[in-house]
Amino acid sequence: MFKQKLRSIHAKQQGFIYTEKMSKESNIQCPFCFESISIAFFIEDGKNQETIVDCTVCCHPIECKVEFFDQENYHVEAARSN
Ligand SMILES: [Zn+2]
């Protein structure tokens, strides 16, 4: 008889420390190479943020606009930077 064992997953979140700054990690699509890259924001930096990140895949600069609605909900826009 086939017995399926359910493994308990330990959500230790190693190396992830909740400090006074709560980061939001988001996946955006690079407007140059269309790869998905991960970026992090801090709500403490403002409700509306604009930042330029270099794509980790093609190294093009991506203009990111972040709008926080509250602590949990936010909207990210990625555009080509000139
Ligand atoms: Zn890219």
Quote the ligand 1 centre to 58 CA distance (angstroms): 4
- The answer as to whether 15 is a domain residue is no
Beta bridge partners of 16: none
- The answer as to whether 4 is a domain residue is no
Spatial CB neighbours of 37, under 8 Å, sequence gap ≥ 6:
27, 28, 29, 30, 53, 55, 56, 57, 62
Quote the ligand 1 centre to 75 CA distance (angstroms): 20
Quote the ligand 1 centre to 78 CA distance (angstroms): 11
The pLDDT of residue 4 is above 90: no
- The answer as to whether 3 is a domain residue is no
Find the domain containing 75 and state its range.
23-80
Domains in the chain: how many in total? 1
Write down the pLDDT at residue 3. Answer: 52
- The answer as to whether 8 is a domain residue is no
Quote the ligand 1 centre to 54 CA distance (angstroms): 8
Quote the ligand 1 centre to 2 CA distance (angstroms): 46
* Verdict on whether the full-model pTM lies above 0.75: no
Write down the pLDDT at residue 21. Answer: 59
Segment 8-61, tens digit of pLDDT: 333 334 444 444 456 788 899 999 999 999 998 888 889 999 999 999 999 999
Higher-pLDDT residue of 82 and 58 is 58
DSSP assignment of the chain, as one string? ---PPPPPP----TT----SS-EEEEEEE-TTT--EEEEEEEGGG-SEEEEEEE-TTT--EEEEEEEESSSS-EEEEEEE--
